[in-house]
Amino acid sequence: MGAAADTAALKRLALEAGAAACAVAAAGPLAALPRFRSALAAQEGPVPAWLARGPERRAGIRTWDPAARSVLVCLFPYWNSSLDKDFASLQPEDPETFLRDAGRKKINVPLLERLKSSGAKPMISRYALSRDYHSSIREALEAVLSRAAGVFPGLEGKVFCDTSQVMEKPLAAAAGLGWQGRNTLLLNSRLGSWFFIGGFTLNLDFAADVQPEYPGCGSCRECEKACPSGALSGGRLEISRCLSWHNTMETAGGPFPGERSGWAYGCDDCQKKCPFNEGASGTVPEFLRPLRS
């Protein structure tokens, strides 16, 4: 088969469905497993059991889908720099009702109360100003996969977006879509870091993209300096310190360091001053547009 041409046809389907960038990786082992292990081993606080369980499951995508031969990885922007001026006006009056209506299941209600009684205006982070992305991105990717199956006879695959053991950032980096910055997130020269990662496995061989040279973070340390809870150092994140952990996953406890920064759901501080987000220019697909825009 003319692999390069076929890969272009596959990517076109993903771009038409709202991805701002996509690339193909081979379904081989990922070099990031030792770094994953060492990042977990370096955690000072408790590590969530679902993250620590069987790290070798993350060695490569074939442990998740043994039929995989290639992977299509896509980046879906939820924000770009032209929206920054609207951040305040996109915040809802009633954060709790807004979050529930948007499909968020875990909300730190005691934190919301503490923020309100301290006089702070609770902030919802950029990624959560739209409808919960898990189902909308899954639907978009399922539709791409089924259209692709119409073009490539025998094609089958499995969709991932956030909920599986797939190490999505290293996988996207292996596909050539960017690099992991000091805030641990995937950065892309054009899109910054304001995007979700999702994709699907392919049981057929598609030509893998080559990894371009990336500028990397250089001597920048803006994210580490900006983190209100001191969760970032040396390219690693201390999960038990991250506000996003406390306000979206482990939502019972508190007060915790840095909460006076005002983040009620998620936290954007390690991305806001990232130089690569200054000119982030990804087109936000309709299904990820802020609900109040």
> What is the distance, to the nearest Å, from the Cα of residue 252 to the centroid of all Cα atoms in its chain?
23
| Residue 39 binds ligand SF4, judged by CB under 6 A | no
- Which does residue 35 bind out of ligand B12, ligand SF4, none, counting CB within 5 to 8 angstroms by kind? ligand B12
Given the complex with ligand B12, which of 16 and 162 has the nearer CB atom? 162
| Residue 183 binds ligand B12, judged by CB under 6 A | yes
| Residue 250 binds ligand SF4, judged by CB under 6 A | no
Locate tokens 């936290």: which residue?
A: 267
> Active site includes 94?
no
Stretch that binds ligand B12, among 81-89, 94-102, 162-170, 200-208 (CB under 6 A): 162-170
Decide: helix, strand or coil at residue 264: strand
Nearest to 284 by CA among 40, 20, 54, 57: 20
| Residue 134 binds ligand B12, judged by CB under 6 A | no
Q: What are the residues facing 159 on neighbouring strands?
A: 200
Nearest to 207 by CA among 161, 169, 176, 170: 176
List, in sequence order, the alpha helices (H) in the chain.
Answer: 3-16, 33-41, 49-52, 95-101, 109-117, 133-151, 168-174, 222-226, 243-248, 269-272, 275-278
Backbone angles phi, psi at 241, to 5 degrees: -100, -15
68, 112, 171, 267: which one contacts ligand SF4 (CB under 6 A)?
267
- Catalytic annotation, pick one of 86, 94, 101, 162: 162
Stretch that binds ligand SF4, among 47-55, 56-64, 69-77, 238-246 (CB under 6 A): 238-246
Give the footprint of ligand SF4 on residues 183-222 (CB under 6 A). 183, 187, 217, 220-222
Nearest-approach distance from CB 43 to ligand B12, in angstroms: 8
Locate tokens 């771009």: which residue?
A: 15
Nearest to 194 by CA among 125, 117, 146, 251: 125
Q: Where do contacts with ligand B12 occur on this chain (CB under 6 A)?
A: 32, 35-36, 38-40, 51, 125, 127, 161-162, 166-170, 180, 183-186, 193, 195-198, 234-237, 239, 242, 244-245, 248-249, 266-268, 270
> Using CB under 6 A as the criterion, which residues of the chain lie in contact with ligand SF4 when the complex forms?
181-183, 187, 217, 220-223, 227-229, 231-232, 237, 242-244, 258, 267, 269-270, 274-276
